């Protein structure tokens, strides 16, 4: 889900007026270096290996990446393939590059191999062919998130071939199941069943990234430090029903409709944590308009009603400040000529980090105020993972390496209103950070949509940034 929701937040701060950062076009203007050509081969192989749930295979993609690592010098005992019998195509791979230090804890590189469905008839180009055209790579997964997967694999292969010995052990987990709740999720399975295999002091994941303006000039880089937690509820009303020729006000659909309006109008309390406070303070400081002033004001005083009102007018900022719940599916009735006996809706909640399913359910029930409306939490029911910390040991190298690669571009800590596999690692004691490096323009990258793409400049520059960042974090242990 790289950049899905983070990009929306960074759009709102893209007018920061930074001095440098004419990065777009630099890496893509010249002929690719030999190492970039080799990386492109990995990227191409991943994009062209269909890993959608319907007909694809993450197991096949993991095997191909494992073969590349083995060819670079990884031993068999440094490559662990995993799957479960009931989901043979949802397998993954864990690779381990041993470190030289006996005291520095490992670091983990995380990447999901699966992609969202893509129909050839809907796309301008074949979604499962990597096409380079007019300064962009096109294909399903080019941004979400096979560009990072390819970067991790290519990086470890180069490290191994060069006999680079980091201080920290570097681990790589390529997993499946991030894009749907109906498949086997490899990150969740590893956290529950092979925790020692992926043990790490911290993990680097998708979820961060930058934003360029319409001219291609990089404006911001974001590092995702935390994210909301998804919780679904089934809202339902029931009624004896009857013949539609003798209607009455006591109607399951009407009752549900009234409850849905109350959900629409309910506002959960405004909440800040260290990450969102830092986001609003830092992003607001780069703006001189009323919205920027409101951002810095809310960071100073969450009770500032005028600042709240202005920020609530921006749908992204509104969502970053609280738990939100919204109706996403609707059903009701059983016949055209009968009063409905049942009506229901799916309520999709994005809970602010630290919130619980129980508290969210109680807030909705109080807002609805009707005992005849039932709210049933749907699986999976997740706990309340604490956000990763703004740890200087992590944030410091992220900012320092960014200053080298993207001079003048601010690095802003963010909270995603979406979700990633960090929801499984952070509760397991592995704080997980969505890395900066790659970026998209105001139009986005098409992730989850049609004609997904990423600029060649972003791909090559982001890869170079992440290589230096991993080395800095690995050798700083």
First-last CA distance in the chain? 29
Q: 């960071």: which residue's tokens?
A: 299
Rounded to an integer, the average pLDDT of 377-396 is 85
* CA dist., res. 443 & res. 137, Å (int): 15
Crossing angle between the packed helical segments 392-405 and 456-475, to the nearest 10 degrees = 140
Q: pTM for this one? A: 0.88
Domain boundaries, the chain: 6-227+386-475, 229-267+323-383, 269-308
- State the pLDDT at residue 29: 54
Question: Dihedral (C-alpha) 280, 286, 288, 291: value to the nearest 10 degrees?
Answer: -30
Cα(416)–Cα(414) distance, rounded to whole angstroms? 6
Q: What pLDDT does residue 467 have?
A: 98
Q: How far apart are CA 416 and CA 432, in angstroms?
A: 13
- pLDDT digit string, tens, across residues 188-216: 999 999 999 999 999 999 999 999 999 99
The two tokens of residue 107 are: 């670091």
Q: Which of 475, 318, 469, 319 is nearest to 402 (CA)?
A: 469
Is a pLDDT exceeding 60 seen at residue 3? no
Query: Is the confidence at residue 369, as pLDDT, over 60?
Result: yes
pLDDT at 190: 98
pLDDT in tens, 252-264: 999 999 999 999 9
Residue 176 and residue 141 in contact, taking contact as beta carbons nearer than 8 Å: no
Instruction: Tell me if residue 274 falls in helix, strand or coil.
Output: helix
Q: Are 236 and 376 within 8 A, CB to CB?
A: yes
Structure confidence at residue 54 (pLDDT): 94
Question: What are the phi and psi torsion angles at 126 (to 5°)?
Answer: -65, 120
Compute the distance between CA of residue 47 and CA of residue 65 in angstroms, rounded to an integer.
Answer: 12
Asked if 95 and 124 touch (Cβ cutoff 8 Å), the reply is no
Q: Rg (Cα) of the chain, in Å, rounded?
A: 24
What number is the average pLDDT over the span 363-367? 98
Number of residues that make up the chain:
477
Question: How many alpha carbons fall within 13 Å on the CB side of residue 311?
Answer: 29
**Tokens (6 digits) for 430:** 């592995």
3-state DSSP helix/strand/coil percent for the chain, to nearest 5? 35, 20, 40
Render pLDDT for 228-242 as a digit per residue (tens, 0 to 9).
999 999 999 999 999
pLDDT of residue 476: 86
The span from the CA of 37 to the CA of 54, in Å, is: 31
Query: For residue 201, what pLDDT is reported?
Result: 97
Q: What is the dihedral of CA 121, 125, 130, 136, to 10 degrees?
A: -140
- pLDDT at 435 > cutoff 60: yes
Which residues, 6 or more positions from 127, have their beta carbon under 8 angstroms from its beta carbon? Answer: 118, 119, 120, 139, 140, 452
**Alpha-carbon gap, residue 292 to 10, rounded angstroms:** 13
Mean pLDDT, to the nearest integer, of 432-447?
Answer: 93
Cβ(28)–Cβ(460) under 8 Å? yes
Q: What is the pLDDT of residue 443?
A: 86
Q: Are the beta carbons of 17 and 321 closer than 8 angstroms?
A: no
Within a 10 A sphere around the Cβ of 212, how many other Cβ atoms? 24
369: left (phi over 0), alpha (psi -120 to 50) or beta: left
Provide the mean pLDDT of the chain.
92
Task: List, for residues 134-183, the tens digit of each pLDDT value.
Answer: 999 999 999 999 999 999 999 999 999 999 999 999 999 999 999 987 78
Mean pLDDT lowest among 55-64, 314-323, 385-394, 454-463 = 385-394
Average pLDDT rounded to a whole number, residues 259-277: 97
pLDDT of residue 255: 98
| Residue 337 Cα to chain centre, angstroms | 46
Residue 25 pLDDT grade (very low, low, confident, very high; cuts 50, 70, 90): very low
Q: Which two tokens stand for residue 171?
A: 């681990």
pLDDT the model gives residue 393: 95
pLDDT, residue 16, reads 41
With respect to CATH, is domain 229-267+323-383 assigned 3.30.70.360? yes
By percentage, how much of the chain surpasses pLDDT 90? 86
Helix (H, G, I), strand (E, B) or coil at 190: helix
Q: Does residue 4 have a pLDDT over 60?
A: no
Confidence at residue 11, expressed as pLDDT on a 0 to 100 scale: 46
3-state secondary structure of 327: strand
pLDDT at 2 over 80: no
Say what the pLDDT of residue 9 is: 59
Q: How far is the C-alpha of 331 from the C-alpha of 260, rounded, in Å?
A: 13
Q: What is the pLDDT of residue 181?
A: 77
Mean pLDDT of the region 438-462: 94
Residue 15 pLDDT level (bands cut at 50, 70, 90): very low
In this predicted structure, which of 16-30, 39-53, 326-340 has the lowest mean pLDDT? 16-30
Over range 32-42, report the average pLDDT. Answer: 97
Which 3 state secondary structure label does DSSP give 95? Answer: strand
Residue 406's φ and ψ, nearest 5 degrees, are: -130, 65
What is the b/e burial string over 394-413, where b = at least 16 CB atoms within 10 angstroms of the residue's CB?
bbebbeebbeebbeebbbbb
pLDDT, tens only, 279-317: 999 999 988 899 999 999 999 999 999 999 999 999 999
Class (C level, CATH) for 6-227+386-475: alpha beta
């Amino acid at each position: 889900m790289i950049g899905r929701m983070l990009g929306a937040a960074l759009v709102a701060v893209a007018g920061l007026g930074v001095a440098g950062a004419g990065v777009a076009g630099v890496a893509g203007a010249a002929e690719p270096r030999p190492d970039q050509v080799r990386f492109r081969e990995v990227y191409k192989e991943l994009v062209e290996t269909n890993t959608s749930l319907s007909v694809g295979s993450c197991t096949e993609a993991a095997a191909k990446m494992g073969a590349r690592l083995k060819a670079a010098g990884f031993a068999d005992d440094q490559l662990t393939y995993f799957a479960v019998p009931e989901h043979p195509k949802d397998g993954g791979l864990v690779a381990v590059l041993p470190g030289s230090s006996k005291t520095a804890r490992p670091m983990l590189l995380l990447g999901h191999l699966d992609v969202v469905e893509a129909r050839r008839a809907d796309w301008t180009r074949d979604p499962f062919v990597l096409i380079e055209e007019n300064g962009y790579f096109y294909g399903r997964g080019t941004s979400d998130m096979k560009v990072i997967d390819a970067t991790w694999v290519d990086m470890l292969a180069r490290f191994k071939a060069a006999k680079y010995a980091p201080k920290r052990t570097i681990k790589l987990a390529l997993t499946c199941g991030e894009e749907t709740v109906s498949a086997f999720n490899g990150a969740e399975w590893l956290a529950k069943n092979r925790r020692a295999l992926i043990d790490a002091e911290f993990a680097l994941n998708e979820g961060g990234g930058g934003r360029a303006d319409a001219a291609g000039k990089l404006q911001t880089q974001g590092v995702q430090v935390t994210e909301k937690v998804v919780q679904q509820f089934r809202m339902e009303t029931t009624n004896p029903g009857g013949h539609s020729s003798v209607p009455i006000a006591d109607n399951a659909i009407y009752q549900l409709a009234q409850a849905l309006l109350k959900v629409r109008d309910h506002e959960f309390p405004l909440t800040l944590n260290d990450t969102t406070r830092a986001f609003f303070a830092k992003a607001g400081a780069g703006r001189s308009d009323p919205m920027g002033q409101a951002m810095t004001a809310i960071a100073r005083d969450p009770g500032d009603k005028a600042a709240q009102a202005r920020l609530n007018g921006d749908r992204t900022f509104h969502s970053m400040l609280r738990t939100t719940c919204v109706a996403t599916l609707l059903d009701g009735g059983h016949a055209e000529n009968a009063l409905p006996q049942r009506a229901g809706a799916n309520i999709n909640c994005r809970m602010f980090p630290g919130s619980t399913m129980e508290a969210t359910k109680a807030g909705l029930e109080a807002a609805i105020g009707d005992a005849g409306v039932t709210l049933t939490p749907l699986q999976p029911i997740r706990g309340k993972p604490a956000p990763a910390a703004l740890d200087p040991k992590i944030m410091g190298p992220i900012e320092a390496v960014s200053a080298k690669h993207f001079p003048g571009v601010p690095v802003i800590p963010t909270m995603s209103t979406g979700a990633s596999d960090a929801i499984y690692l952070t509760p397991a004691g592995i704080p997980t950070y969505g890395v900066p490096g790659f970026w998209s323009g105001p139009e986005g990258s098409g992730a989850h949509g049609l004609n997904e793409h990423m600029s060649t400049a972003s791909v090559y520059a982001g890869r170079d940034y992440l290589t230096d960042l991993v080395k800095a974090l690995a050798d700083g242990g």
